[in-house]
Amino acid sequence: MQLKKVLLSIILILLVLGVGYVAVQLWTAFNTPTITTQYPEQIREYNGTALDSINDFRIEAIAGVQYINISTYSLVIDGLVQNQTSLTYNDLVNNHTSYLKVVTLHCVEGWQVTALWQGLLVKDLLADAGYEQNAQVLIFYAQDGYTTSLPLSYIVNNNIMIAYKVNNVTLPAAEGYPFQLVAEGKLGYKWIKWITRISVSNDTSYLGYWESNGYSNTANYP
């Protein structure tokens, strides 16, 4: 009988402690201010279109945020090309025509962000490399090992860019610095970040990281 009383007392104490712990966690969650990065140069409107904040993006990555050393960075363009190229960040940003475009990223998790992107047309880079007539697919590679692919026709016909700025801000590391693919009309997992290589291919069966795990290879939105 005495043992039952002791056990009951212990259970009651644990319950009280458990409730107290949960209460503390809830209080902390609701009373801790959200820390957001300030971007004084960020613009929130372009040609009459309202833009979402850079802080509205959620970090989606298979191995965490990548921090690339820009002094040693190069973008390789290889595969079915006449001239394999390796371009530095300065080569890309300073020696190629820059374009601006408002595009919305739609994530499979249900969130979306409309932003102004500034970057280079992939087809201009391909023209410099001189891709072969049997080329059909571009395979994109990222610093963290992530890959995805898209039809060459989609890239060329839609003037798809790799961006180095968003809302007038140089891409933060979390958003893919130095380059993110702006895969207009495609779901977010096609918007590959931290691009290090673009390989021209005729392998139409190639599946990237999420595609090889069951995600649609077309990834059209809607």
Which residue bears the tokens 């060329």? 156
| 38-93 tens-digit pLDDT | 999 999 999 999 999 999 999 999 999 999 999 999 999 999 999 999 999 999 99
CA-nearest of 155, 157, 168, 167 to 195 is 155
Measured between alpha carbons, how far is residue 206 from residues 4, 145, 158 in Å?
A: 65, 15, 21
176 φ/ψ angles, rounded to the nearest 5 degrees: 110, 10
pTM: 0.84
Can you read off the two tokens belonging to residue 146? 């992530």
Show the DSSP H helices in the chain as ranges: 2-31, 89-94, 122-129, 152-157
Residue 110: predicted pLDDT: 96
> What is d(CA 175, CA 70) in angstroms, rounded to the nearest whole number?
15
Q: Are 159 and 99 in contact (CB under 8 A)?
A: yes
CA-nearest of 115, 144, 142, 108 to 57 is 115
DSSP β-ladder status, 195-201 and 75-79: parallel
Residue 7: predicted pLDDT: 44
Reported as a pLDDT band with limits 50, 70 and 90, residue 35 is: low
